Structure 1
Amino acid sequence: MSPCNSQVSTMSALILLLFVTPILATRPPATMLPGQQKGNCTYAVEIETTCAPSAATADHVGVRFGDSEGNHVVAKNLKHPEPIWNPRMGRENKDKQWNNYQPFDKCAIDRFEVEGPCMQRGICYLYLKRVGADEWRPGWAKVLHKKSDGVVSPVSDTFYFRMFLPSNVWFGFDYCDENPPHPPMN
């Protein structure tokens, strides 16, 4: 190949890159969930506290979860739960009792709303962190995607703990290296 042809080939390649690269850069990644856009999403994290003696806690509890693409959400102190199930709460005076509700009660299931980046794949890891002096024994935790119409749909498997958590450390499960990774659920 002559030096002149080499320069023409190099110049052609550069021109092609100048026109093709902006087109490719504007397309969303192929791994985005259908209808999903970059930005923040709202998630509902459901956590069950077991019925074991001393299972409840008044400690601060945090959650950390993410997908295999490196997207993650961290909530250091879960607040303002929506009680899903609590056998101690009777049907009488329900509204009054829910106003004074404390999360992580024995035999209860609590739902917390957290915001963070939209996941590109199903959530494959989840860690919990308890900060305080109590013991706490969660049963399981799972993450749901909360859509703008309020409908929630699971985006993770259920992570089973069923043991007392150590204090002041992130403790949980990472299944991101499993083959195949958990698919997103809509």
Structure 2
Amino acid sequence: MIKAATFLLLLAFIFLTFADARRIILRLPQSQSHPHPLKSFKVNNATQKNAASCSYTVSIRTSCSSTTYTRDQISLAFGDAYGNQVYAPRLDDPYSRTFERCSTDTFEIYGPCTYQVCYLYLYRSGYDGWKPESVTVYGYYTKSVTFYYNTFIPGDIWYGFDFCNRVASASASS
């Protein structure tokens, strides 16, 4: 009986170790990259108006080293490698205590249906400052994806990640 229990514990340990290793390997490319400004980023309004509507859940975790709260205007844009883009012009609401330090805010956003989300940019306008830790996008037709910021967002510029070239080259090689 003790041998069987020990064997099961060993199997559970091995399984959990490999499951954690898989999770770490999947996160390595994003965790090694840093967000960057994108001066030429344009919101694609044509995609918003001419496409089928899908629902996305966006979860934004504000860092514990951020300002206590922000009154800044926060916008979000994300999309896929094929030009489908979802745009949320205003996520902030200072009256509802959105984006407080050490908090997670969840938003339901509607926009055109996308393939796998591979880029995400945030836009901040104001004087308070704000430091998101991470942004996770969940969609019905796509796998969830998390973008790790953990840095203050500069003002009046789109700031974020674009992994679309990695996605395109990975699917071309398979």
TM-score where L is the length of structure 1: 0.58
Secondary structure of the residue aligned to 1:172 is: strand
**Distance change (3 Å), C-alpha of 1:73 and 1:181:** farther
Q: Is the CA contact 1:44–1:146 (under 8 Å) kept in the aligned structure 2?
A: no
- Conserved? CA contact 2:55–2:108, under 8 Å: yes
Unaligned ranges ≥5, structure 1: 1-37, 81-99, 148-153
Q: Distance in 2 between matches of 1:133 and 1:155?
A: 35
Do structure 1's residue 105 and structure 2's residue 100 form an aligned pair?
A: yes
Indicate the structure with greater helix content.
2
CA drift at 1:179: 4.5
Larger radius of gyration: 1
1:169 match: 157
Match among 99, 123, 129 for residue 123 of structure 2: 129
Q: 1:45 aligns with which of 58, 64, 69?
A: 58
Q: Which residue of 2 aligns with 1:58?
A: 71
2:91 alignment partner in structure 1: 78
1:68 aligns with 2:63: no
Q: Structure 1 residues 70, 179: CA separation in 2 closer, same or farther (over 3 Å shift)? A: closer
Q: Is the 8 A contact 2:123 2:159 kept in 1?
A: yes
Matches of 2:136 and 2:161 in 1, distance apart?
12
Q: Percent identity?
A: 38
Distance 1:46 1:64 in 2: 13
| Pairwise CA distance, 1:155 | 3.2
Going from structure 1 to structure 2, the CA distance change for 1:74 and 1:135 (only over 3 Å counts) comes to: same
Partner secondary structure for residue 165 of structure 2: coil
Which SS does the other structure have where 2:100 is aligned?
coil
> Is the contact between residue 81 and residue 168 of structure 2 (CA under 8 Å) also seen in structure 1?
no
Question: What's the offset of the Cα at 1:55?
Answer: 5.6
CA separation of 1:139 and 1:53: change in aligned 2, threshold 3 A? closer
1:2-17 superposed matches below 5 A: none
- Compute the displacement of 1:78 (Å): 1.1
State how far apart, in whole Å, the 2-side matches of 1:146 and 1:131 are: 30
Two-structure CA RMSD over aligned residues (Å): 2.5
- 1:87-166 correspondence to structure 2 within 5 Å: 101-119=96-114, 121-145=115-139, 155-166=143-154
How many residues are aligned here? 121
1:155 alignment partner AA:
K
Question: Which residue identity lines up with residue 54 of structure 1 in the other structure?
Answer: T
| 1:77-120 deviations in Å (ceiling 9; x for gaps) | 0157xxxxxxxxxxxxxxxxxxx63110000000111111011x
Separation (CA, whole Å) in 1 of partners of 2:170 and 2:116: 6
